[in-house]
């Protein structure tokens, strides 16, 4: 009999929890608020209650569940099962989440970075099926990645592998990055940098559709995307520049790892070809010939279920 697993995707606002079959189907899902400001114990208690609710509603017990996996948006010690820190979830510093859940439910529990989980999900059941060498990137508030090399998830010497957003594109005087350094890919090309570019154009006196569409409210990457789709040349240009930056960053990664596929997900990637076309073009132009010809760039397939599906796979990887 195939056993079920629980996948949990912790985000800054909500925690998604799902019962996932060993062939990647979600048979139950729910979400609970993170409320990080209440302290991590509060969130952990919410998660425990959500696991009890899941078991009750799906009529399963601990012995029917092979494992529990957590995807966490930050630095995680996979071997120890500890969340080291999460920039957008204050208070989660050195939290032994695996042990806390195991002592309550007596089910083996693992934790890893959320984008690594998404990469595992896409590799097994999404846009990465059949790949041996794969890079899954997410473009949202930041740029994260999960790396699969020779069929295996790469974690690195101190669990910090995959920080593609912090590839340096400029030596001196680059834009300031959230990591504390300057000139990182993420500081040139992410949700906030799209907004910053849009605001610069407005300050410079450009008349744009996104200014009208925001109607005095905040400009978001989504609004800039809608303006681009409506034909606004400035908005299109912003996505072209963003795609080019990501393409140039990816050219270095492709030269280094020679992957078959790059999967692009995250909210900003919902802009589709506005971002992907310049990304692909720059990558092909700037990567070395053999690696550049081999790699295929595709959109993510699992959307916001990649995290829970991938987390459910941690128990075996």
**What are the residues binding ligand ADP (CB under 6 A)?**
138, 140-141, 191, 220-222, 225, 266-268, 270-271
At 136, list the tokens. 């899954």
Q: Which lies closer to ligand ADP via its Cβ, residue 17 or residue 287?
A: 17
- Residue 133 vs 138, nearer CB to ligand ADP: 138
Q: How far is the CB of 268 from ligand ADP (least distance, A)?
A: 4
Q: Cβ closer to ligand ADP: 96 or 178?
A: 178
Q: Please tell me the distance from the alpha carbon of residue 239 to that of residue 226, in angstroms, as a whole number.
A: 11
Buried-state track 13-27, b at ≥16 Cβ within 10 A, e below 16: eebbbbbbeeebeee
Structure tokens at 240: 């072209």
Q: Closer to ligand ADP at the Cβ: 133 or 271? A: 271
d(CA 6, CA 169): 39
Q: How far is the CB of 229 from ligand ADP (least distance, A)?
A: 9
CB of 239 to ligand ADP, least distance (A): 8
DSSP letters for 70-84: EEESSEEETTTTEEE
Cβ proximity to ligand ADP, 4 vs 138, nearer residue: 138
User: Shortest Cβ distance from residue 264 to ligand ADP (Å)?
Assistant: 11
Rounded least distance, CB 242 to ligand ADP, Å: 10
Could you list the beta-strand ranges (E) of the chain.
Answer: 4-10, 14-21, 26-33, 65-72, 75-77, 82-85, 109-113, 134-139, 143-149, 152-153, 261-265, 296-299
Question: Within 13 Å and on the Cβ side, how many CA atoms surround 62?
Answer: 10
């Amino acid at each position: 009999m195939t056993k079920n697993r629980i996948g949990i995707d912790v985000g800054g606002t909500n925690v998604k929890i799902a019962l996932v079959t060993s062939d990647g189907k979600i048979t139950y899902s729910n979400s609970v608020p993170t409320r990080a400001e209440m302290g991590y114990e509060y969130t952990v208690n919410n998660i425990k209650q959500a696991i009890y609710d899941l078991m009750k509603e799906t009529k399963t017990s601990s012995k029917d569940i092979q494992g529990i996996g957590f995807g966490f948006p930050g630095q995680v010690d996979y071997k120890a099962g500890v969340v080291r820190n999460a920039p957008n979830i204050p208070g989660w510093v050195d939290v032994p989440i695996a042990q806390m859940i195991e002592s309550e439910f007596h089910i083996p529990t693992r934790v890893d970075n959320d984008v690594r989980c998404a990469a595992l999900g896409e590799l097994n059941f999404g846009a990465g099926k059949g790949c041996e060498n794969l890079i899954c990137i997410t473009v949202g508030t930041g740029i994260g990645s999960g790396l699969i090399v020779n069929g295996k998830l790469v974690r690195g010497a101190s669990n910090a592998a995959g920080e593609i957003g912090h590839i340096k594109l400029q030596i001196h005087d680059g834009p300031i990055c959230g990591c504390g350094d300057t000139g990182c890919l993420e500081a040139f090309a992410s949700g906030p940098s799209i907004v910053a570019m849009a605001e610069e154009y407005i300050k410079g006196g450009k008349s744009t559709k996104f200014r009208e569409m925001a109607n005095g409210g905040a400009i978001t990457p989504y609004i800039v995307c809608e303006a681009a789709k409506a034909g606004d040349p400035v908005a299109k240009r912003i996505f072209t520049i963003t795609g080019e930056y990501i393409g140039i960053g990816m050219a270095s990664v492709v030269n280094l790892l020679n992957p078959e596929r790059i999967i692009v997900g995250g909210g900003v990637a919902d802009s589709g070809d506005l971002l992907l076309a310049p990304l692909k073009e720059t990558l092909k132009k700037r990567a070395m010939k053999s690696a550049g010809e081999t790699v295929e760039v595709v959109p993510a397939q699992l959307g916001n279920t990649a995290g829970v599906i991938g987390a459910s796979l941690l128990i075996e990887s």
